[in-house]
A and B are shown apart, each in its own frame.
Chain A
Amino acid sequence: MLASCATTHEQTFKPESTQLHNAKLPDFSGHWEKNYQASDVFSNRFQLYVADIRRGIVRNTNENAGFKEASGLDAKSINGLAQLAEEITRMPLLNIKQDDASVNVERENDFNLRCLYHEKQFVQRTNAFGSERCGWTNDRMVFQMYMAGGLQVSHLFSLSPDGTQLNVTSTIGSDRVTAPIVISNYYTRFVSQDDHYDCKQTLTRNKVCSQQGHSK
């Protein structure tokens, strides 16, 4: 169940094809709640992560005898990254809206992950504090963010074959730590009260909702 630790800094992905028009996209739409039983327990994950790093350092040290200052075990940086990773991978509830050209993942207590993937092209955007890339790789949706201070966060969304489970694999890395932390969370669908309403954003009245099938 647990996703394996990544061994490289950059969890780069290569789009299998930028023109997959005929392939039907998986539909992530809906309300999702975290399945804590199926998801990684952060403390366990963290222990495995640290053990992995230690093993890597020992291997490195043996291979490069005499080179004692092997990088990677910067405890402060590892703990800092872990603390942040724990915070940003909580995501207890997700509300996903998707159409032919875009996906919008509303996350509780965090910013929306949005991707306008016209023609399944990868889209890159930047702002004053970093940049992001998003798009489809096969039937998985990926968001990669590069932030100031060497922080990298990516979320990979995939759907189980029967469409009932959503997996979000998050990879959080820093340029001060040799390997990123990978956390895998599972979600199950639920029906929200919001599903009974059609809501529309307006400028004068903010969000205006009406019961489905009824005009306002």
Chain B
Amino acid sequence: MKRKQLFRPWLLVLLVASSWVRASDEEHFVDVSIQIFTQAEKPPEKAVRPATKEPTKPDPVQAVAVSETRLLPMYLRYRLEQSGNFGAVRVLPLLDNGADLRISGQILKSDGNVLQLAIKATDSTGRVWIDRVFNGTAMASHALSGDALAEDDFAQMFGEITNGLKQQAQQLSSDELSKIKNVSLLRYGLGLVPAAFSPYLEESPKGEVTLKRMPAATDPLMKRILTIRGREYEFIDVVDEEYARFYSAAKPLYGLWRQSQREQAESSETRNARVLASTSDFQHGSYRALQQSYNNYRWAKLQELYVDELGEGFTNEIEPTELQTNDALHRLTGTFEQQYREWRGILAELFALDAK
């Protein structure tokens, strides 16, 4: 059975791949892989009740939280692409060990007014480019390109992240760049055929990777790895397209959501004013005093309802897009994982044959 697999048509492509020593224009830039962000905290439960049963309806707070873990890295991708200082910039669900530059992010706070992100960017050699918390305050912005998807209330903050990465990228010497690229390819190979690639790399406990030596330029295994990675990137680009589709559908909605969150913050100022005013001069127990108590309570309940309707509206509109994206990602990931397993098996066999 395995022998049959060896003669699959795509394997021929592997075997005739060109040299892995690259010299195209693209090699002047690092390729970036951005992992889908994570949320620092699980959104709090609104009502006090034991979590004995899953809610029957989608939770709007959760829906927003999930959406922004995709939308924010997508926006960062747009910004990095626009800067012109990076090669391919991709967004993917998992950590890409074979990337030149890996970016991960955690959403520490996002309430429409304030966005707080912990961003870490590490190149393949383990050198940390950025590892800090970025804080932004919402400001209306208009992209010069007129591209609505490139506009964001936190454009300034994302500009800071992009500039930080750009500075690092511009400071790279051609040797450093080439080392990053070679190590990323070898790391990728290490993931596929550990026995074949472990002699080339050494990783310190801190995660810094030293290139011990390079394989021969004519090494057939390297050619195969290079081609497989190319194919993997083709796959990742399909995943990335799904995220892009999600981004273009959800971004305007997310903008509205943020705007409504800001309105809510303003209304909480109104609430504070009401609280202060509620210590009124009306005689305790009188109709006016009771009416004021009831009206204040009613106002708070109507606000609550409004917030819930906003959340419900967001969930109802985002749900079809999110389901479609999840389905597509699930399908693609399943296909990819299967193919990746096949690649690993075949490469291990080839390596064993070569070793003989």
Assess the B287–A130 pair: CB atoms within 8 A.
no
Given the complex of chains A and B, what is the CA–CA distance between A98 and B95 in angstroms? 44
In the bound complex, do residue B271 and residue A203 qualify as a contact, i.e. CB atoms below 8 Å apart? no
On chain B, the residues within 8 Å of A114 by CB distance are 305
Assess A148 versus B48: contact at CB under 8 Å? Given A100-B56, A127-B304, A202-B316: no
Shortest 6 CB-CB distances between A and B: which pairs? A176-B285, A80-B287, A203-B313, A77-B285, A111-B301, A149-B293
Contact indicator per residue, chain B 129-140, by CB within 8 Å of chain A (1) or not (0): 000000000000
Among candidates A81, A112, A151, residue contacting B305 with C-beta atoms closer than 8 Å? A112
What CA separation (Å) do A135 and B21 show in the bound complex? 70
Contacts of B283 on A, CB cut-off 8 Å?
A: 76
> Which residues 221-278 in B have Cβ within 8 Å of A in the complex?
252-253, 256-257, 260, 271-272, 274-275, 278
Q: Which of B53, B278, B286, B287 contacts A129 (CB 8 A)?
A: B278
Pick from B46, B286, B301, B316: contact of A76, CB below 8 A: B286
Query: Can you name the residue of chain B whose Cβ is closest to the Cβ of A206?
Result: B313
Number of chain B interface residues as a range: 35 or more
Best-buried of B49, B286, B297 by chain A (most CB within 10 Å): B297
13 contacting pairs across A/B (C-beta < 8 A): A81-B287, A118-B53, A119-B52, A124-B47, A124-B48, A125-B47, A130-B297, A149-B284, A150-B284, A202-B313, A203-B313, A203-B317, A204-B256
User: What does the 1/0 interface line of B293-320 toward A look like (CB < 8 Å)?
Assistant: 1101111111011000110111011000
* A74 close to chain B: CB less than 8 A: yes
**B300 and A129 contact, CB distance less than 8 A:** yes
The verdict on B55 contacting chain A, using a C-beta distance below 8 Å, is: yes
How near does chain B come to A128, taking the closest CB pair, in angstroms?
A: 5
- Bound-state CA distance A60–B288 (Å) is 29
Inter-chain pairs besides A84-B294, A125-B47, A177-B285, 4 sampled, C-beta below 8 Å: A81-B290, A101-B55, A116-B47, A149-B284
> B275 and A128: CB pair below 8 A?
yes
Q: Which residues on B sit within 8 Å (CB–CB) of A130?
A: 293, 297, 300
Q: Is A145's CB under 8 angstroms from B297's CB?
A: yes
Task: List residues of B whose CB falls within 8 A of some A CB.
Answer: 46-50, 52-53, 55-56, 252-253, 256-257, 260, 271-272, 274-275, 278, 283-294, 296-302, 304-305, 309-310, 312-314, 316-317
The range of chain A's interface size is 35 or more
B49→A116 contact, CB < 8 A: yes
How many inter-chain residue pairs (CB < 8 Å) link A and B?
A: 128
A174-202 interface bits toward B, Cβ cutoff 8 Å, 1 = contact, 0 = none: 11110000000000000000000000111
Q: Collect the chain B residues with CB atoms within 8 Å of residue A201's CB.
A: 309, 312-313, 316
Bound complex: CA A87 to CA B288 (Å): 13
A200 CB to nearest B CB, Å? 5
B220 to chain A, nearest CB (A): 56
CB distance from B329 to the nearest CB of A (A): 24
CB neighbours (8 Å) of A177 from chain B are 285
A112-B301, A119-B50, A202-B317 known; A148-B296 Cβ under 8 A: yes
Q: Which of B49, B290, B298, B310 contacts A118 (CB 8 A)?
A: B49
A90, B55: Cα distance in complex, Å: 33
Verify A128–B300 contact, CB threshold 8 A.
yes
Partner of A127, one of B52, B297, B316: B297
**Could you tell me if B297 and A129 are in contact, using CB atoms closer than 8 angstroms?**
yes
Q: With A and B bound together, what is the CA distance between A132 and B309 in angstroms?
A: 20
Q: Separation in Å of the A84 CB from the closest CB of chain B?
A: 5
Cα–Cα, bound, A110→B299 (Å): 10
Identify the closest chain B residue to A99 (Cβ).
B56
Q: How far does the Cβ of A97 sit from chain B's closest Cβ, in whole Å?
A: 12
User: In the complex, what distance in Å separates the CA atom of A201 from the CA atom of B314?
Assistant: 8
Q: Across the interface, which residues of A come within 8 angstroms of B293, CB to CB?
A: 129-130, 147-149, 151
| Cβ distance A117 to chain B, nearest Cβ, rounded Å | 9
CA distance A23 to B55 in the complex (A): 20
**Contact status A77-B316, CB under 8 Å:** no
Residue pair A80, B301 in contact (C-beta under 8 Å): no
List, in ascending order, chain B residues with CB within 8 A of A175's CB.
Answer: 285
Q: Is the beta-carbon distance between A118 and B55 smaller than 8 angstroms? A: yes
Q: Are A176 and B294 in contact (CB under 8 A)?
A: no
Q: Which residues of A contact B314 (CB under 8 A)?
A: 203
Contact of A80 with B304 at beta-carbon distance under 8 Å, contacts A125-B47, A149-B292, A204-B256 already known: no
- Per the bound structure, the CA–CA distance linking A177 and B284 in Å amounts to 11
Known: A112-B301, A129-B275, A176-B284. A203 touches B290 (CB 8 A): no
Q: Which residue of A lies closest to B252 (CB)?
A: A204
